[in-house]
Amino acid sequence: MSKDLREILKNNIENSSELSTNHRQRFQQKLQDELHAKPQTKKSYQWLFVAASLLLLVSVGIKFYPTTTIEPTIKEVPIELRNQISLGTISPELKTVEDYYVNTINYELSQLELTNDNKELFDGYLTKIGELTKEYKSLTQELNTKGINDDTINALIGNLQLRLQLLKRMQKQLQEFKNPTQNDIQTI
pLDDT tens for 42-93 read 677 788 888 888 888 888 888 777 765 444 444 454 445 446 777 777 778 8
Q: With 70 as the cut, is the pLDDT of residue 6 above it?
A: yes
The answer to whether residues 102 and 110 touch, using CB atoms and an 8 Å cutoff, is no
- Among the listed residues 159, 151, 113, 101, the one whose alpha carbon sits nearest the alpha carbon of residue 133: 159
- The pLDDT of residue 120 is 80
Kindly tell me the sign of the dihedral angle through the C-alpha atoms of 152, 153, 156, 161. negative
What pTM was computed for the model? 0.49
Rounded to a whole number of angstroms, the distance between the first and last alpha carbons of the chain is 152
Q: Which tops the pLDDT comparison, 110 or 185?
A: 110
pLDDT tens readout for residues 117-144:
777 877 888 888 888 889 988 888 888 8
Look at residue 25 and tell me whether its pLDDT is greater than 60.
yes
Q: CA 177 from chain center: how many Å?
A: 54
In Å, what is the CA distance from 94 to each residue of 153, 160, 166, 188?
9, 12, 22, 47
Contact 171, 116 (CB under 8 A): no
Lowest model confidence (mean pLDDT) among 31-35, 54-58, 176-180 = 176-180
Nearest to 175 by CA among 105, 104, 118: 118
Residues 136-164 have a mean pLDDT of 85
The per-residue DSSP string of 4-61 comes to -HHHHHHHHHHHPPPPPTTHHHHHHHHHHHHHHSPPPPPPP-HHHHHHHHHHHHHHHH
Q: Please indicate whether residue 21 or residue 137 has the higher confidence score (pLDDT).
A: 137
Query: Which pLDDT band, with edges at 50, 70 and 90, does 183 fall under?
Result: low
Whole-angstrom distance, CA of residue 8 vs CA of residue 30: 32
SS3 1: coil
